[in-house]
Each structure stands twice: as C-alpha cells, then as structure tokens.
Structure 1
Amino acid sequence: MVSTRPSADLPGPGEGAGLRWFRSAWRDLAGASPDAAAVGDELLGRWDEEHRRYHTLAHLLHILRAVDTLADHARDPDAVRYAAWFHDAVYEGRPGEDERESALLAERLLTALGVAPGRVREVARLVRMTADHRTEPGDADGAVLRDADLSVLASPPDEYLAYTAAVRAEYRRVPDALFRAGRLRILRKLLLAPHLYATGYGRAHWEERARANIEAEIRRLEAVDRVEPPQL
C-alpha cells in the first residue's frame, strides 16, 4: 500500500540535509549549547512521529518559512519562531488538549534552557492560541503565527489537495460522513470571517487564493454528500 504520509519538502537533497537545516535553524534560535541541541532533537523526534500525516516536518518547515516571510509584522519574531517549533510538538488528534500540552512542554523546556520568563510566557500563549487561531487587535505576534499556520490554505491547487488528503489521513479512524460534516463546519466558519489572515501581507498575498481553495473543497465535500446513499 502506498503511504499517505507525505515526505517532508526538506531543503537540500535527502533526509540528512533536511535534518541539518532544521538543526541549524534551531541553533540560530536557541543557541549551540548541548542542552539546546538536545531540546531541538527532542522536538524533531516529536514532529517525525510515525502516526502523523499532516503535522509533520514538512508542516514545520512550511510554518518556519512563513514566519520568516512575516517576521517584520511581529513584535518578537523569535518568540513566534519558538511557538512555531512547539505549536504541534504534542499531536495526538485531540483539539485543544494537544495545544495545552504543547504549551506546557514549551514552558518546561524553554525554562530549562534559561529563556527569559516573559518570552516563555509569550511562547506558551501563542501555542495555546493555535487551538482556535483567535487573535485580538494589536496582537502582532499572534497575527504572525496565525497567518503562518493558515498559509497552507493559500497553496497551489495540487498542494492544497495533498494537504487535505494528509488531514483526512490523520483522522482516518473517523467515519467518512462524520469527517465531512466536521470539515464542512470548519471551512464554512472560515469563509464567514471578514478576513482569513490578520496581517497585511497575508491579506494581500494569500487571501484570494485561500478563499478559492476553501470554496473548491466545500464543493467537493458537498458533491460527495449528494451522491452517497443514506445509511439505513
């Protein structure tokens, strides 16, 4: 059987080069101490867990690159980068609980590394925010992390289809009809918002494509519901 787990679009040729890129990015952020390297390796191990299909190293790479694109919009870009590393570090398919545990992990590990308490609190807050992506006016760091996490919605159509397949694979134990109903609720709620993105860059560069992708996915999901016979 062909695996539905996507290979990470890692920089450079091969897995080794990709992991070197991640380790270099983490070292630039957290420093070169043995303790920092150990935390980085723990995070990479978590992101590469076998049960993941969408929330993989490829997703982490996408988020980190998007944060770099949006860094000028952040108050504390490095806090946002830490939050990107930690925001799905715990992932068991439990919405809300995974984010809470990821935030607790960030508090424990970053405190052990000697990161300033104020930045640790900000990182944990940002990680918890990704449970619903709600940001308040003036929350520059939250806006950047939100937009980076949702930037996948603005992918080219073929990449968007791969993303939706990977999300479905992560919820493979959920019956099709139940999954479609839940997914449709999420997508319709997104479209009701005046803006999908909170930064000016996101609205200018990603909004139109993201809405088109979401509308196309809704049509696909609704078409399946129309043709499937009812379960008696």
Structure 2
Amino acid sequence: MSTDAKLLERWAALAGPGARTVGEDLVRRYREPHRRYHTVEHLAAMLAVIDDLAEDADDTDAVRYAAFFHDAVYAVDRGDNEERSAELAETVLAELGVEPALVAEVARLVRLTAGHAPEPDDRNGAVLCDADLAVLAADESGYAAYTSAVRAEYAHIPDELFRRGRRAVLEGLAQLPHLFRTATARVRYEAKARANLANELAALAD
C-alpha cells in the first residue's frame, strides 16, 4: 500500500469515511512540489511516533488530527504557516461536525508546533512536539536524508546564509535541557538526537 493510501486509511479511521474528500485534500497539500521534507513521509512518520507515545497523551485523537493539519499550509518564505494551518483545521473540522472542544484543542496543538514549547502538564502537546522532532534521532542515513531535504526546501537561500541560520536553530535546540518532553521519548530518542545535533554542528563549523 502506498504512503498516500495508508494516510487516507488512517484519516478515515480518525474522521470517518464521510471525510475522505478532506483527507485527499490534506494528502495533496503534503504532496505539493515545493516540499522536500514537510511531505507525506514526514506525516506518516509522525503518526507512527504518536502511536508509540499514545499512552503519554490525554487525547490521542486530538494529537492525530493535529499531526494531519500541522503542516497543511507550508511555504518556506512565510512565517505564519502554523497559524494558517490552525485556521484551516478550525474551519474544516467544524464543517465536518467535530465537537467544538476538540476543534479548539487541535488548533491549539497545531499552533504549538511553531515553537515546540508545551507547558510541563501539556501531555497532548508533549506527544505532538516529540513526534515532530523525532527525526532528530534518526539513524545515520535517515538523518542525512532529513538534512538534505531541509536544505532542498531552502535551495533559494545562499549557502552561507543557510548555514548560519541552520547553526542558530541547532544551537538553540542543543541548549535546551531536554529535546523531548515525554519520558518515553527521552529514553528512546534523546541520546541519539543529541549526537546527531553535535555531528551536524561540527560539520557546519568546517
């Protein structure tokens, strides 16, 4: 089964078979040609991590909805992707008849991915953010593919400017007391992610 088909199957299980048109639109968005990292593969990987961390969330449906919508609007030259994605979620889910409290929670979670800084007691936010950052703990080939895809999305940025910006992002992450918010993710991902960040920072310093 293709990644698109698997995602549509997962969407139908979450939102119901009557929401297939919405699922198809979401998959189409993650297939936009300018995307290299924020793709259907990224979404599928996030959903798999959410499955693994499900016991750490208070509402896994809210977290899964938020995963589907978190990069629904994505353009590298805009700073409001998360806000626009959250607004899309609010509109679409309301039209589907999703209860208002769940719609509000999904939108809140989508907006949270702008900074990946959930409050200590925000279990849903912790799972979503950990799933979004789990790629940092990929194996050597997976991490290389990730960094290559990110660079491709910013191909219009000159190399020196990109390296400077990328260093700033990685240094900010490296200075955090914890990259991951759930205890489960810290055990599984923290050490490898720290090693990957250190290796990439060293490469960027060359």
TM-score range normalised by the length of the shorter chain: over 0.9
Report the Cα offset of residue 95 of structure 1: 5.6
Counterparts in 2 of 1:19-168, with a 5 A limit? 19-33=4-18, 36-94=19-77, 96-168=79-151
Q: 1:44, 1:215 → 2: CA distance?
A: 34
Matched residue SS, 1:53: coil
Aligned counterparts of 2:122 and 2:106: Cα–Cα separation in 1: 13
Q: Would you identify which runs of 4 or more consecutive aligned residues in structure 1 move more than 6 Å?
A: none
Deviation at 1:18, TM superposition (A): 2.7
Q: Deviations over 1:41-98 (max 9, x none)?
A: 1101000001100001110111110111111100110000000000000001146400
CA RMSD of aligned residues (A): 0.9
Q: Which residue of 2 aligns with 1:18?
A: 3
AA aligned opposite 1:106: A
Residue 173 (structure 1) aligns with: 156
- Describe the superposition over 1:6-35 as per-residue Cα deviations: whole angstroms up to 9, x where unpaired: xxxxxx4xxxx33221111000000011xx
> Cα 1:164–1:99, aligned 2, differ >3 Å: closer, same or farther?
same
Q: Which amino acid aligns with 1:143?
A: A
The unaligned stretches of length 5 or more in structure 1 are 1-11, 224-232
Aligned length in residues: 206
Structure 2 gap segments, 5+ residues each: none
Q: Is the 8 A contact 1:86 1:106 kept in 2?
A: yes
Aligned sequence identity (%): 51
Tell me the equivalent position of 2:177: 194
Counterpart residue identity of residue 124, structure 1: A
How does the TM-score come out when normalised to structure 2? 0.98
